[in-house]
A and B are shown apart, each in its own frame.
Chain A
Amino acid sequence: MSGGARIRAAIESARANRRPALVAYLTAGFPRLDQFGPLLRATDAAADVIEVGVPFSDPMADGATIQRSSRVALEQGVTLRWILDALGGLAPHARAPILLMSYLNPLLAGGLTETIRRAAAAGVAGFIIPDLPLEESPGLRELARSHGMALVQMVTPVTPDERIRALAAATDGFLYAVTVAGITGGSAASPGEEQRIGAYLDRVRSLSGGAMTCAGFGVRSRAQVRALAPHADGVIVGSALIEAIENKQNITNFLTELVSTT
């Protein structure tokens, strides 16, 4: 099964259980190298799809939390090579398909063709690349597809309708609906915002041509997830999970409670 098909199946299976799919983001090697395995397993116990963040020195789309986790991971010596070696041992045992979330430059450094080949060999299902817009993406998407991997596209509240259609047609796995024009880790949405986000997600859905949509950026609470659930197939949690790790919470419980419907 291709990476995109595995991701779609994981999201559909959550929906069959009458809950939104949970996509969870971890910065690889944060807070320590030896915790990557245990944290990935704890995340896998609750999440439907896992995003493994490749730390980058200049994360221009990230807020304070992921800037911090990226810096700590880089200080620990985390590299893409290290991440793919570790995933080679972990991914085959994970239930959830694993996406690599990386800025473009770390993927280019070792040669894109070689990087994609290595990622496929490590069991990675696909990529999310925040600084690779649609116009620049066809070459990379083809290369990923030729190895059975997905390239997930993002849409935002300032993306025009026509462009949402094009992004939905290009995406594989799901369509990543960024809830705010902004960086990751924003504060919880105010009540007025919830209405705006709901309307925006409905618009994305109506334009998505059947692609499943997952809503991310600033998702922190169960109440928020409940408000988002009718408007999207899944939710994406990143900064809040990093903060839960910093606070030494049990992250399986944290994630399970976030999407529990009872």
Chain B
Amino acid sequence: MTTTILGPPDRLAPGQAATELARLLAGDYPDAAGRFGPFGGRFVPETLMGAVTRLDRVARAAFADPAFRAELDRESRDWIGRPTPLCYAAGLSRAWGAPVWLKREDLAHTGAHKINNALGQALLARRLGATRIVAETGAGQHGVATAAACARLGFPCRVYMGSIDVERQAPNVDRMLRLGAEVVPVETGDRTLRAAIDEALRHWVSDPLETHYLLGSAVGPHPFPWIVREFQSVIGRESRAQMIERTGRLPDAAFACVGGGSNAIGFFHGFLADPRVALFGLEAGGRGPGLGEHSATLSHGRPGVLHGTYSMLLQDSDGQVIETHSVCAGLDYPGVGPEHSFLNWIGRVRYEAVTDREALDAHAECCAREGILPALEPSHALAGARRFASANPGAVLLVNLCGRGDKDMPILAREAPMTGPGGRP
């Protein structure tokens, strides 16, 4: 039995990083205990042990079932609109002095990558025999995706959303309601994504047999980080094939934003086995590196247990989880998926912080040069790519544009108001 929770993860021995990566690529992680090396696991109340064990079993059977795969593929094509395009960003390429390619997850149904997982888990919920679905949401994208998937498959749906997020992502609340979901504002805790997950877990603890908790990020107890990664890995598979088809080569570097890390983990999985592709996860650096000013977990956190998983965590010296800040709700989370902690530990992915300001600048540049209004979350990835391009001119860059920015209009009006002709004063 594992005792790795007894202390911080060991320093890597020489050569261990390569061994650990090989294990991951061979499918040895997550292991039977739900671990990626020292990270992950299932730290949940006894009431949920049956539910997470059953979910693991049903998911394994589903992934091995051609009929399940066929239905997922068909719905992904007809209802989500997959494959999403790979788009050459001519304007950004000229400005940055490096060819930039965008993976257009913003063109997926409901406007973000979240739909890949929402559809997949809703199909799993049917196999589980669940009668209702609950979800948490931060930016509202996962809530909208879950509401849509539940409408499609006929599940009643309840979405927990921090009251601060209800206010700052108001357009998505209306979308969820129109798609038939019940939206429950969470007034406890930090009133953002973390409190919404707490509340969704409480709901699940109270109804572990009938409810499926459709968790939206690659966080939480095993098997969620694995299931979410499996449903999101379509992004990486498509991206890799499209890059080869369009350019005859792989990118030099690939960039994705990381909050909980669902878009990034699916995207990275397309390239983990390609040692020449440098991978970058961009976290929300917020207003700066001070405690509570950001949500850059891998840049500033320590290992700990939150929401059922052992992973890097923003916490104080007494083990209390601290409040975080980001201009965008989707990255405003003090934890991170355990597989990202693992990839950071072995050094396969480099995680860097991008400030609110840098993200807003990259957002404006993408609007102006590409005619694409991205969400603020992938604007962090764009900012990371721009930073890399300035140090590596000519490098071929691939950015996962994981969502569109319509939901961010209230934040943009406040943080970057339009002035001048036709603009707001």
Which residues of A are at the interface with B, using a C-beta cutoff of 8 A? 56-63, 67, 74, 79-81, 103-113, 130-136, 138-140, 143, 153-156, 158-160, 163, 167, 178, 180-183
Contact = CB atoms under 8 A, between A and B. Distances in A.
B25 interface: no
Of listed B49, B189, B308, residue having the most chain A CB within 10 A: B49
A103 B320 CA distance: 10
A104 B42 CA distance: 12
B315 A109 contact: yes
Interface in B1-18: 1-3, 5-7
B368 interface: no
Nearest to A56: B320
A62 B33 CA distance: 25
A60 B319 contact: no
A111 B304 contact: no
A45 to B, nearest CB: 30
Given A60-B202, A136-B2, A143-B6, 20 more contacts: A57-B320, A57-B321, A60-B201, A60-B205, A61-B205, A103-B305, A105-B305, A105-B313, A105-B319, A106-B319, A109-B315, A109-B318, A133-B44, A133-B45, A133-B49, A154-B45, A159-B46, A181-B207, A182-B205, A182-B206
Given A60-B202, A108-B5, A133 B46 contact: yes
Contacts of A106: 318-320
Nearest to A154: B46
Given A104-B305, A105-B304, A109-B315, A135 B50 contact: no
B319 A80 contact: yes
B202 A74 contact: no
Contacts of B49: 133-135, 159, 163
B180 interface: no
A50 to B, nearest CB: 22
Given A104-B43, A136-B43, A131 B33 contact: no
Among B6, B46, B319, chain A packs the most CB atoms within 10 A around the CB of B46
B364 interface: no
A133 B202 CA distance: 16
A132 B43 contact: yes
Given A138-B1, A143-B6, A81 B44 contact: no
A136 B41 contact: yes
Q: A-B pairs with the 6 shortest C-beta distances?
A: A109-B319, A139-B3, A106-B319, A182-B206, A138-B1, A79-B318
Contacts of A180: 206
Contact of B209 (A74, A130, A158): A158
A60 B43 CA distance: 11
Contact of A136 (B5, B47, B208): B5
A133 B317 CA distance: 24
A58 B318 contact: no
Given A131-B308, A181-B207, A60 B315 contact: no
A178 B47 contact: yes
Nearest to B323: A57
Interface in B195-223: 198, 201-202, 205-209
B46 A58 contact: no
A156 B206 CA distance: 11
Contact of A139 (B2, B47, B198, B322): B2
A131 B305 contact: yes
A211 B4 CA distance: 29
B306 interface: yes
